[in-house]
Amino acid sequence: MDKKKIAIIGAGVVGSAVGIILKDHGYPIVGVASRSPASAERLANRLHTTAYLSYARAAKLADLVFVTTTDSAIVTVVEEVAAVQAFHPGQIVVHMSGALSSAVLAPAARLGAIVLSIHPLQSFASVEQAIQNLPGSIFSIEGDPQGFTTAEELVRNLGGEFFFIDQRTKPLYHAGACVVSNYLVTLVDLGARLLESAGLPRQSAIKALLPLLEGTLRNIRNVGIPQALTGPIARGDVGTIRKHLSIMQEVEPELVDLYQRLGYHTAEVAGRKGTINREQIEELQTILSNTFTIKE
């Protein structure tokens, strides 16, 4: 079966990486367009294709259009292309946003295109890192069932696995992804801040925390949740938690509330692990729900 001809609208990190990987798997890339002509030209040169100033000109040439702009630009771009009838029946139009559903591609669907959202549960700091990280990633697929076979084929060629998600729950799914990806960076930053307050230089603090972080991720991979949970809450060590809260209230009081909220939920995880009983859970949660109040 011949590979579908692809146009890429949006030559950022994700669009560039997807285009490069799919070209390596035999997909013909027939055009690139982007808000930045220089970005489109760079990607087109790498893909040995043509950069277009017009989104519509690139889209018209393709069987499959990737709209990999910023989330805020997707609707505008799709409306612009649809306004000149550049989408056509049977064409597949894909965006890769985690927060948005395929509903934002409605202008293309009204012209007979098959619309899909294909989102990788992965973070990308650069094009080269994205090329490395996409294979092995898990993708969510949502949209017109007529396009599911193509979506599955694309994910396989990108080296990933997939699951299907309901359009209505897409924001909740994306919130879960943000908690794990984005807020993990924030947690490491806050952990480093506490180590700084204990006397370590910031870069040394981050360096010291990384093996701990990587070990925790290995434990989650190997034994799962809740078994991967360790530490004072998993042991029911109320005394240590009180010491943490006492010194934090003195040195980093603005972090106490977050520590307590995270600890409150961690007590439930420890309960599921079976290392503490209901009475211990309730004692821990009482301490951890009293913001800025330390029980002696």
Q: Where are the domains of the chain?
A: 6-165, 173-289
Q: Tens of pLDDT along 251-294?
A: 999 999 999 999 999 999 999 999 999 999 999 999 999 754 44
Are residues 181 and 173 in contact, defined by beta-carbon separation less than 8 angstroms? no
Neighbour-count burial of 49, counting CB atoms closer than 10 A to its CB (0-12 exposed, 13-18 middle, 19+ buried): buried
**What is the predicted pLDDT for the residue at 291?**
58
Determine the Cα–Cα distance for residues 152 and 156; give it in Å rounded to an integer. 6
Q: May I ask the CATH class of domain 6-165?
A: alpha beta
Mean pLDDT of the chain: 95
| pTM of the complete model | 0.86
Q: How many CB atoms lie within 10 A of CB 68?
A: 24
Helix (H, G, I), strand (E, B) or coil at 229: coil
Structure tokens at 36: 């930045």
Helix (H, G, I), strand (E, B) or coil at 45: helix
Q: What percent of the chain has pLDDT over 70?
A: 98
Are residues 5 and 61 in contact, defined by beta-carbon separation less than 8 angstroms? yes
CATH architecture of 173-289: Orthogonal Bundle (1.10)
Phi, psi at 98, each rounded to 5°: -85, -30
